[in-house]
Amino acid sequence: EVAPIEQEAREPFTNGEIGALLAASAGTDWETAILVGAYGGLRIGDACNLKWEDVHLDAKIIEFIPQKTSRKKKRLRVPIHPTLQKHLEAIASRDSEKRSKFVCSVLAGQPAGGRAGLSRAFMDLMETAGVDNKATDKKEGLGRAFSRKSFHSLRHFAVTTLANLGIAQDVRQKIAGHADQKMTERYSHLHDETLRKAVEQMPDVRKSV
């Protein structure tokens, strides 16, 4: 899990950078995880361990318990963007008997951190795609290198894109699954259709490939 101080310093990917990442990961689980992160705002652990039972294609909703709040058993409902919907439908069309319970079967179960973890693997993918992680020599107070762009930048992309589209703050917080309980209660009345209309305004990042 990325420390709060690091999350604040992350920068969102551009459309072009996400397009490059999708091109470099085409046909792999990373392609799916990137689309889930960009359109759903899921963190790396949640995106890579998403289960098919949590994906409701008919309702165009992903409903899951984020790892960050798993002890509190709070389910988060995220609308599925048309681009992500099309991608997931293509994967779901495969023989269900041979399909893993995880959407990203190869990435599922792997640790997020460490030299062989998901975060490191994604950094390698960024390098392959020619996407600069904007690493600094040292994060103040931490004494080690810090990357301003990582998988978490997909989450920033989702929220930033919605903000630039003029989507109300409470709608953005609902989609992102804001951690503040008082804020959650404030916007809990929002309906799925309201959230879906907001998400559907996001651009098709595949056009940047």
pLDDT computed for residue 44 by the predictor? 97
Q: Where are the alpha helices (DSSP H) in 41-180?
A: 44-48, 82-92, 118-129, 152-164, 169-176
Q: Token pair 């490191």 is at which residue?
A: 120
Paired residues of 147 in beta bridges: 135
Question: How far, in Å, CA of 195 to CA of 209, rounded?
Answer: 26
Q: What pLDDT, in 10s, does the model give residues 98-118? A: 778 999 999 999 999 888 899
Among 109, 126, 110, residue whose Cα is nearest residue 118: 110
Burial of 84 (0-12, 13-18, 19+ CB in 10 A): buried
Each residue's pLDDT tens digit, 52-69: 999 999 999 999 999 877
> pTM of the full predicted structure?
0.80
